[in-house]
Amino acid sequence: MNHYKQSPSVTPDYKKIYSDLVDMKYPEKKHECEKILSKKNLSAFDVIEINRIIFSYSQNIKANQSHRSYNKETIYKILEYQKKNYLNNTQLALHFKLSRNTVAKWKSLFNI
C-alpha cells in the first residue's frame, strides 16, 4: 500500500495569476493594480483588494462570498482598516462584502 506524505499547504502564485489576468484581460486596470502587484508576495488582504479593483461586484460576488475563508492575519488587517478609516461594522461589511454578523464575531473573537 502506498502512503503519500501530504505536502505542506501550498498556496497559488497569486502574483503571477493576477499579473497575467491584468495583462491579458484588463490592461486598462494595470495602473490601478501596479502598487499591489509590485509586492514580492501577495497576502490574502492584497488578493481581496485586487479582486475589488479588477472585478465589478455585479459579477457573481454574492454566490462566491459563502466560499471565502480568511486567516488571522487578514482578519486583523480588515479590522485595522476599520479602525484607520473610522468605519462602523455595517460600512466595513459593505466595503469587503461581508456579513455584519461576521464582522461582529471577529471583533469579539479577537477582542478588538
Q: What is the DSSP string of 4-38?
A: PPPPPP----HHHHHHHHHHHT-GGGHHHHHHHHT
Instruction: Provide the residue ranges of all domains of the chain, joining segments of one domain with +.
Output: 12-55, 67-112
Q: What is the pTM of this model?
A: 0.56
> What are 10's three cell numbers?
501550498
Query: b/e string for 93-112 if b means 16 or more Cβ within 10 A?
Result: beebebeeebbeebeeeeee
* Sequential pLDDT tens for the chain (112 residues): 556 655 566 778 889 999 999 999 989 989 988 999 999 888 888 888 888 888 865 555 555 565 678 889 889 999 999 999 999 999 999 988 889 999 999 999 987 6
